[in-house]
Amino acid sequence: MIVLHCRPPEGVPAAEVEWLKNEEPIDSEQDENIDTRADHNLIIRQARLSDSGNYTCMAANIVAKRRSLSATVVVYVNGGWSSWTEWSACNVRCGRGWQKRSRTCTNPAPLNGGAFCEGMSVQKITCTSLCPVDGSWEVWSEWSVCSPECEHLRIRECTAPPPRNGGKFCEGLSQESENCTDGLCILDKKPLHEIKPQSIENASDIALYSGLGAAVVAVAVLVIGVTLYRRSQSDYGVDVIDSSALTGGFQTFNFKTVRQGNSLLLNSAMQPDLTVSRTYSGPICLQDPLDKELMTESSLFNPLSDIKVKVQSSFMVSLGVSERAEYHGKNHSRTFPHGNNHSFSTMHPRNKTPYIQNLSSLPTRTELRTTGVFGHLGGRLVMPNTGVSLLIPHGAIPEENSWEIYMSINQGEPSLQSDGSEVLLSPEVTCGPPDMIVTTPFALTIPHCADVSSEHWNIHLKKRTQQGKWEEVMSVEDESTSCYCLLDPFACHVLLDSFGTYALTGEPITDCAVKQLKVAVFGCMSCNSLDYNLRVYCVDNTPCAFQEVVSDERHQGGQLLEEPKLLHFKGNTFSLQISVLDIPPFLWRIKPFTACQEVPFSRVWCSNRQPLHCAFSLERYTPTTTQLSCKICIRQLKGHEQILQVQTSILESERETITFFAQEDSTFPAQTGPKAFKIPYSIRQRICATFDTPNAKGKDWQMLAQKNSINRNLSYFATQSSPSAVILNLWEARHQHDGDLDSLACALEEIGRTHTKLSNISESQLDEADFNYSRQNGL
């Protein structure tokens, strides 16, 4: 009910009172919802949208008229959810996928500044579609008894397995028949029982003698073969199953038990046990075949009791890395080093460079850290060259208070242990102090390596509790009023109200889920003046992961030889191949077994634990060769491929330097006050005052969000005291590297009413610096 009071002035004769709505008289007799009879008051029994307007009380007698000030009545409508739509079909035809349903805030839609609907507009659940199974034949049955027609039958059924879920039926015949007397059932058009017995006996004798003759020949051939085999083996004095061990072929070889006292064996005291099949994850170093010593030296062919190295071809080495690879066997002198922290290791006492390098990691720091002191004016804290930043909005910290805020990145072993198929997509970022309370959400930017161009990931934001456990904060696709996630192609911008340790994880929904890897090649001279080492890295495409590689290479004297490139690595379980191509002949040669190396899928897919790299060793023919040119091919089997073109000088003075990082991130890690923000504070206040005010046309903060590509989880902003301010904070976080305000100016220009309320700002209403800055940037 709405009651508007009217107190007309006293007069003689008494004044008559009349109510006007939008300057039109109100007739209470025509509208039963309105009553003007009670002591000159206007009573609207039940508010309706049509009752919005400007109401005026007018008193008049024969002498004069008096008008009251107008009272504006606005009837607003809170939004209401429509019914849920039907669940969509599963997005995959076969296997695990997802389906979703949605609803809209149109029942009714919010009007005149009414509240937006609370809750989620989209729900998503996982689904499983049964895969079609094609049918397959069982084995044939036994032949049946020979029939009077001299035929027997056999059958088979399509039940191994039977076709299911729309699968194809077995192809071919289910029944087969053939003559069961080898064509002797009918002879000369006479039945078999009419043939003379002697003819039958003659035929049987011929078959018997033929069989005996064939058996004698077979036995003779076998005896001759065994005799020749023993004579050939006695010449060598050792039983070698695979002759490729002597001819130089690179195939899998096995040894029999050694004869006692045989001088040709390399280590006659040890009987190798090749029945054990374990995987060794440490460096594997074999003797350089170019050395002038004999290839039969014990350090090369000494049997290893607890390792199998499978060489697929003369130019490809496959190193299997298990989930929990350990080496339990006895360590032999100069064969296996005790640690995995060295990039280069050797087994020969003269320190020759090994020609098979291990896929190992380099020693790393455990944490990157930066700090800054912030007060009421807010600011920005940036971790140089990592893509990680923290935006403290103006007013988030109470006046007369200041806090020392820190931010760090874990570079050691991740504390977040992946569950099942879940993959860590970002660094673990910590910001604090944890007991600090902010009045406005702050913006945390975390880089990630997922390809979010298609819906093949289910990405989650997780936070570590004080007990060290990780809990899910929200899914990026879900709606929440506690925090907000905006996923860009290379970073995720998160609005939070509490400090702590955060990370992004992803669960691939299909095999088409893609991780973006950064591939780069570094080079440096070896301790041997003729050798040059190439190290190819495949790391997650996050700046902090690559910075760790750069830092390690600087300690080793490595030089970046080519601009890093992106490799799209699919979650299809296929491995990664890295090979060196087009090496100049007569100038360089590559050590054997290292032209191509293969990395298992699991090692690449979960490579965020350690920087993954493969090492190649090249040798110059003469010291006068100073230029190196070759190609390095990095490809996933049945996937993406990248080519790195190496064109460099191995001399330090002639080498061209390639910049690791852009420079704008390297300076001023902490910026405080107005200089940390791109939008001047006075302009910001004007924008918030304009868009936070409800508008019947709907061109308010929701329109501002949509024009800035914020189309999801708008209910989060509705819970804030100033939704426009939070939207501008998110814009600041997304555009920290942009040079101007073009994107925001375009968004404001597209909203028609900005010309009526924002364009009238005069120079006297703003600081001169703010006015000039805004004019130069088109704002």
Q: 84 and 71, same structural domain?
A: no
CATH number at residue 111: 2.20.100.10
Asked if residue 450 belongs to a domain, the reply is: yes
Residue 540, domain member (yes or no): yes
Q: What is the DSSP letter of 144?
A: P
Q: Distance between CA atoms of 304 and 286, rounded to whole angstroms?
A: 12
My answer on whether 375 and 497 are in the same domain is yes
Task: Tell me how crowded residue 528 is: count the other CB atoms within 10 A of its CB.
Answer: 14
For residues 625 and 614, what is the distance between their CA atoms, to the nearest angstrom? Answer: 24
Which domain CATH number covers 500?
2.60.220.30
pLDDT, residue 706, reads 85
CA angle 467, 472, 475 (to 5 degrees): 165
pLDDT < 50 regions, the chain? 187-195, 199, 235-364, 662-666, 753-760, 762-763
Total structural domains within the chain: 5
Say if 432 falls within a structural domain.
Answer: yes
pLDDT for 73: 92
Based on the fold, state whether residues 374 and 504 are members of the same structural domain: yes
Q: How far apart are CA 451 and CA 571, in angstroms?
A: 12
- Asked whether residue 453 falls in the same domain as residue 499, the answer is yes
Of 478, 508, 538, which one is at a domain's C-terminal end?
508
> Are both 53 and 90 inside the same structural domain?
no
CA geometry: angle 515, 565, 708, nearest 5 deg: 65
Provide the 8-state DSSP code for 551: H
One domain, residues 492 and 377 = yes
Q: Are residues 378 and 487 in the same domain?
A: yes
Same domain, 523 and 498: no
Rounding to the nearest 10 degrees, give the CA dihedral for residues 236, 238, 239, 244: -70
Does 733 map to a domain?
yes
502, 522: one domain:
no
Q: 495-518 burial, b for 16+ CB within 10 Å, e for fewer?
A: bbebbbbbbbbbbbbbeebbbbbb
Phi, psi dihedrals of residue 776, rounded to the nearest 5°: -70, -30
The end-to-end CA distance of the chain, in Å, is 45
Q: Is 684 within the bounds of a domain? A: yes
Alpha-carbon torsion (166, 170, 171, 174), positive or negative: negative
Question: Contact 616/536 with Cβ under 8 angstroms?
Answer: yes
Q: Are strands 34-35 and 42-44 parallel, antiparallel or unpaired?
A: antiparallel
469 and 383 inside one domain: yes
d(CA 300, CA 306) in angstroms, rounded, equals 16
Assigned domain for 230 exists = no
By residue range, what is the domain housing residue 29? Answer: 2-75
Same domain, 481 and 587: no
469 lies in some domain: yes
- Domain boundary (48, 75, 102) is at 75
For residue 658, what pLDDT is reported? 63
DSSP code for 774: H
What pLDDT shows up at residue 102?
93
The per-residue pLDDT for 769 is 63
CATH number at residue 690: 1.10.533.10
Residue ending a domain, choose from 486, 508, 530: 508
395 and 491 housed in the same domain: yes
CATH code at 17?
2.60.40.10
Residue 774 lies in a domain: no
Question: Can you tell me which residue has the tokens 């607003």?
Answer: 76
pLDDT of residue 409: 92
Query: Could you report the per-residue pLDDT of 198-217, keeping only the tens digit for each?
Result: 545 565 678 788 888 899 99
